[in-house]
Amino acid sequence: MPAADLDSLSRLAVALAAGLLIGLERGWHARALAEGERVAGFRTFGLIGLLGGLASLLGQSQGLPVLAAGFLALGAVLAAGYWRGTAASHDLSATSAVAALVTFGLGAAAGEGELEVAGAGAVIVALLLGTKPQLHRLVERLEQAELLAVLKLLLMSVVLLPVLPDRGLGPWNALNPYRIWWMVVLIAGLSSIGYFAIRLAGPRRGILLTGLLGGLASSTATTVTLARRAAPAARPAMPGRPDGQARLIAAGILLACAVMFPRMLLVAAVIAPALLPVLAVPLAVAGVVAAAVGLWAAGREPAEGPSAAAGLKPENPFEFGTALKFGLLLAGILLLTAALRRWIGDEALYLIAAVSGLADVDAVTLSFSALVADGRTPALLAGGAILLVGAVNTLVKAAFGIALSRGRLTAWLAGGLGGALLAGAAAAAVEQLLLPAGP
């Protein structure tokens, strides 16, 4: 058999499989109906997918009108079936009819050779159709403020973010609008994620989940987001008991900060493996201490009385003001860092690292790791600068947490983050004595 025929058959097979997958879900959904009482089922959807594939293959040789004619013919059949069904049952749902049109389109995509698109699309359509009860419950539970929060976040991230220039502007080309706005979006997004996590998973699991997942993106943004929930104006302490709410929020922050240390190590090791012996022990020790204190705080619950999580209810799902203020602060720090580079030069490596750590660790870790990879800076010197970046950023997060919580997180953050820094510094000092001096 010619290779061209094998290719066409494989495309038709994917088109048929896409239709059968969607038809399997539709057939299961209408399994209680008698034969002939549904517009389309398992076999019909398979044939619709195959029809789309055939129309696409014929259209490649006979022209686009063949594909259009197949689509219009299918639409006419579905319209007649929909009209007959609504007249008999007064059910106005057009889901199956629309799904059939989408199935034709996926079959046509397979006929054009877009096999991955057809396969992925079929899985998504089947999943979307199969989760109808869950989606309907979600819509019923969604409040207007929550819907508006999601739409505002999408406006910030999907509409505004892509049009911003991703390059340095302003004095010394220090201000990257895309990067600054991305940080604003990140904080607003983490605020919304934390809100829905608390509402869906409960306060305790929601806060801890926000801390862990938020730490993967930005532990600083997560600290800002969670610390505001501990402010006395928003969260008065529960009378007659220790401030368990602050303890739980501090646990989420500590877990987010603990994630930062292995993240830094991974970034540095991938770019410059020579940094691994310098960074591995101090960052691992600091991360373990922060995680241990965070887990201890998360599990420390009094034997009697209401849970600390009971008083933590979801607040505003969209915190734009805090996110915007942090973005402006980031812009100021970027300007200061650029000014230091301009006036002093890269020779002042530790000073630049300390100032840069006020805003971000990832960008600085990338920069210093690249210097080591290019052979421009010894691994020991750059490793020390990266450790300084992590230490300064940790102190900044502690300051943010204490200030935004109006002092309610002082004991936990000072103990947890301070202990992590001291342990990491001790490990770095011991390692400095053991490692041979670099060239």
Q: What does pLDDT average to in each consecutive run of 10 residues of the chain (439 residues)?
A: 78 94 85 61 89 91 86 87 67 78 94 93 93 82 82 91 90 84 82 76 82 84 85 49 74 94 90 91 96 88 45 60 77 77 68 75 79 81 88 93 90 94 92 63
Neighbours of 4 (CB within 10 A): 8
Whether residues 196 and 176 share a domain: the answer is: yes
Domain that holds residue 122: 3-138
Integer Cα distance of 275 and 269 in angstroms = 6
CA–CA dist 137, 128 (Å, integer): 14
> How far apart, in whole angstroms, are the C-alpha atoms of residue 362 and residue 291?
20
Please check whether residue 384 lies inside any domain of the structure.
yes
pLDDT value at residue 316: 60
Q: Are 190 and 225 in contact (CB under 8 A)?
A: yes
**Structural domain includes residue 36:** yes
**Is there a contact between 369 and 272 (Cβ–Cβ < 8 Å)?**
yes
409 contacts 402 by C-beta, under 8 angstroms? yes
DSSP-assigned letter for residue 175: B
161 lies in the same domain as 110: no
Indicate if 156 and 47 belong to the same structural domain. no
From the list 403, 202, 399, the residue with the least C-alpha distance to 311 is: 202
Task: Name 336's Cβ contacts closer than 8 Å, sequence gap at least 6.
Answer: 355
Residue for token pair 């629309």: 98
Do 148 and 243 belong together in one domain? yes
Name, in order, each residue with C-beta under 8 angstroms of 299's C-beta and a sequence gap of 6 or more: none
Q: Which of 110, 138, 166 is a domain's end point? A: 138
**DSSP label at 155?**
I
Q: Which parts of 300-409 fold into alpha helices (H)?
A: 320-343, 349-356, 362-373, 379-404
Contact 294, 226 (CB under 8 A): no
Note whether residue 227 is domain-resident: yes
Closest residue by Cα to residue 191 from 224, 164, 225, 166? 225
Residue with tokens 């209401």: 306
Same domain, 303 and 218: yes
The domain boundary residue, chosen from 81, 105, 138:
138
Check whether residue 160 and residue 233 sit in a common domain: yes
Same domain, 169 and 129: no
Residue 315 region by backbone torsions, left for phi larger than 0, else alpha for psi between -120 and 50, else beta:
beta
Same domain, 154 and 282: yes
CA distance 369 to 365: 6
Residues 182, 216, 309: CA angle, nearest 5 degrees:
105
Distance CA 349, CA 243 (A): 42
How far is it, in rounded angstroms, from Cα 239 to Cα 224?
Answer: 26
The residue whose two tokens read 């007649």 is: 80
Pairwise CA distance, residues 361 & 218, whole Å? 9
| Unique residue bearing structure tokens 């049109």 | 101
In the prediction, which pLDDT does 200 show?
75
Residue at a domain's end among 138, 171, 206 = 138
Structural domain includes residue 418:
yes
How far does Cα 338 stand from its chain's mean position? 29
Q: How far apart are CA 10 and CA 161, in angstroms?
A: 40
User: Do 22 and 52 reside in the same domain of the chain?
Assistant: yes
The closest alpha carbon to 412, from 235, 174, 242, belongs to 242
Query: Within this chain, do residues 261 and 171 fall inside the same structural domain, yes or no?
Result: yes
Dist CA 398 CA 392 (whole Å): 10
Decide: 381 and 349 in contact? Cβ < 8 Å: yes
Structural domains counted in the chain: 2
Same domain, 334 and 191: yes
Looking at the domain assignment, is residue 439 inside a domain? no
Angstrom distance (rounded) from CA 285 to CA 278: 13
Q: Is residue 243 part of a domain?
A: yes
Residue 420 falls within a domain, yes or no? yes
| Domain-located, residue 11 | yes
Same domain, 242 and 333: yes
Under DSSP, the state recorded for 304 is S
* pTM (predicted TM-score): 0.66
